[in-house]
A and B are shown apart, each in its own frame.
Chain A
């Protein structure tokens, strides 16, 4: 029995918690006389996961390399206002609008990555500063909402493929690409290596700056994409939409909830998606059964801490006691010698 428990990964636990949340959610929704699995309810949950999911996928990569990105809410807002202003309701301007917004996002991410890796500034401070820089730019240039999304662009938010909203499919596609990158490509493996131990990675011949810059660039790019989704949803660019969503802290919470170590080097995208789904289910259920907003915050805080506590304890118990029977990995390492 203990052996079987030992094989449960942190991702397994996250999905266990998710199933538990869904069961509780179904019961609570039923007490209101509503069906949790109704198409509308599921669609609302999936739509919620699309924006936070995109950002959390990017945040996972940044946390994996041992950094943090607190500038995401401002990148989200900036991309929504830039794309909105460029499009200005013209169908023909959709492509340039998207391109410019994403290019700006990627540029911001690259600067974050370079500041973190080359100047040696902690990611917390580098991206906090970057967030301030962007927020100053936006207060100086955008008063209130600006620009508007043309009708064909808004379809991104309203369209469904089968029962699944298009925005959720975009998010899932990005997540799959990110998983493939982390598992199959050189830079993906280097991200784990640099996050695990930067000095060891450097001594092993890895250019430690490259994975950090790539992770930050992709994170900002995905945040920019989330900004575009919000533009399609609201149909106007809003310079405060990112900060309203608390995307910086919520995405970090989702990543840690998904079993990724905050110190970097260990974790995966799949767990993060589970973490985002837990938030989405919780939010939807609480709004269906009309929990007062102040209690929603209290619950959210409690669930984050307790859920992380569940697997944080396990992680420790799973570590074999020193000098006990070696694990398969140790055996393999011995063999390789």
Chain B
């Protein structure tokens, strides 16, 4: 075969996309992909919310909102690892409930217990992830089923520990992690610990996704078989993703104790909220595509949406679910279009400009036009 660049010199001279059209142009281009569009969505929602409720624009109110959204954003980061590797984690909500109840039961009024119990919670969280991961990879049970089973089992344990009723809250020092912060900061007033934890989690995740682990994880989500043949251990890879997901759920649980207190219903439905946030962030269900920060932006978009609906107050609060459902479907439908558009190679440079660049058919070949 002839070298393509010899026949079509226009292709070879095309600059690499990374250096194409300056920073502004590249940003504009990125914002049309689902992973970028979610940031536009967050901006639009933020401005609409501030217009609807000018109070929301106050830095102090805004920073508290960011702190309040941190648990769901952290859960979305955890869910991102699992989804991008092509799996599901439905046990997330149950893990949060378990950790919240555990903290309430074991810490109690003893501030000295905070560290050992937190250590225990992290170990248990990691253990749940290991079991999920090994059952998915070694037993070859679909992760949807594994984590569904885990969800049922953990819900049973929570039921056993609480009897279905709220428990007394743990000591205040522990709850401060979730609802406290560094006081007397200029401009914003208070810097919530939860927001700082979120920032650390985000930075660590971006770093991790640029490491071989992250690269391989995305490859495994795109094509597990090819990744395995390329020499990765899918068992260890996906198990780590599940462990990260359960650890994020644990972290979200620790923060939620501060906000919501100890009740077996804390964390219920969190898995669906986290998956929705991740998908809203343009991460492809089925794996292989998406940026971790877009998942975080998806979580913020979701929370801003709730805030906006409350601020607008034009619709009966009973209809909130309906509006949320419509917006999720519309956002993902638009995202699906954008992925398709993004996947198609740009037509403009490769399209033949005139007749002469088109390779002439060899004489004697039937071109089908006559």
Contacts and interface: CB of A to CB of B under 8 A. Distances in A.
Q: Do A and B bind each other?
A: yes
Interface string A192-210: 0000000000000000000
A198 to B, nearest CB: 12
Nearest to B135: A305
Interface stretch (B20-28, B249-257, B317-325): B317-325
B285 A125 contact: yes
Given A125-B279, A309-B135, A301 B325 contact: no
B145 A262 contact: yes
B136 to A, nearest CB: 10
A302 interface: yes
Query: Which of B272, B286, B340 has the largest number of chain A CB atoms within 10 A?
Result: B272
Contacts of B276: 125, 128
Interface in B317-370: 318-326, 328-329, 332-333, 336-337, 340
B156 A132 contact: no
A133 B279 contact: no
Interface string A99-137: 000000000000000010001111011101111111111
B333 A115 contact: yes
Contacts of B328: 125, 128-129, 132
A256 interface: yes
Contact of A301 (B149, B316, B318, B329): B149
A133 B324 CA distance: 7
B145 A308 contact: yes
Interface in A291-337: 292-298, 300-302, 304-305, 308-309, 312-313, 315-316
A249 interface: yes
A241 interface: no
A140 interface: yes
A204 B324 CA distance: 38
B336 A121 contact: yes
A313 B142 CA distance: 11
A135 to B, nearest CB: 5
Contacts of B286: 122
B157 interface: yes
B336 A298 contact: no
Nearest to B143: A262
A140 B329 contact: no
A253 interface: yes
Query: Which of A115, A124, A312 has the largest number of chain B CB atoms within 10 A?
Result: A124
Chain B binding surface, main DSSP class? helix
A136 B332 contact: no
Nearest to B160: A294
B37 to A, nearest CB: 15
Contacts of A304: 145, 148-149, 152
A139 interface: yes
A252 interface: yes
Query: Which of A128, A253, A256, A296 has the largest number of chain B CB atoms within 10 A?
Result: A128
A256 B329 contact: no
Given A122-B286, A125-B285, A309 B272 contact: no
Contact of A136 (B135, B146, B151, B322): B322
A87 to B, nearest CB: 24
Given A122-B285, A132-B322, A308 B153 contact: no
A258 B145 CA distance: 12
Contact of A309 (B141, B157, B316, B320): B141
A122 B278 CA distance: 13
B38 to A, nearest CB: 14
Interface string B118-146: 00000000000000000100011110111
A309 B156 contact: no
Contact of B326 (A129, A135, A296): A129
B107 interface: no
Contact of B333 (A119, A135, A292, A297): A119
B159 A122 contact: no
Contacts of A139: 318-319, 321
B161 to A, nearest CB: 9
A298 B157 contact: yes
Contacts of B318: 136, 139-140
Nearest to A122: B285
B223 to A, nearest CB: 14
B321 A253 contact: no
B296 interface: no
Given A119-B336, A121-B332, A126-B329, A298 B285 contact: no
A259 B225 CA distance: 22
Contacts of B145: 253, 256, 262, 304-305, 308
B299 interface: no
Contacts of A133: 321-322, 325-326
Contacts of B217: none
Given A122-B279, A136-B320, A298-B157, A308 B329 contact: no
B319 A131 contact: no
Contacts of A121: 329, 332-333, 336
A115 B329 contact: yes
Contacts of B319: 136-137, 139-140
A298 B153 contact: yes
B92 interface: no
Contacts of B329: 115, 119, 121, 125-126, 129-130
B150 interface: yes
Contacts of B340: 120
B275 interface: yes
A128 B285 contact: no
17 contacts: A115-B333, A119-B336, A120-B337, A122-B332, A122-B336, A126-B329, A132-B322, A133-B326, A134-B322, A249-B151, A292-B160, A295-B156, A296-B156, A298-B153, A304-B145, A308-B145, A316-B140
Q: Which 6 A-B residue pairs are closest in the complex by CB-CB distance? A: A136-B322, A132-B325, A297-B156, A136-B321, A301-B152, A301-B149
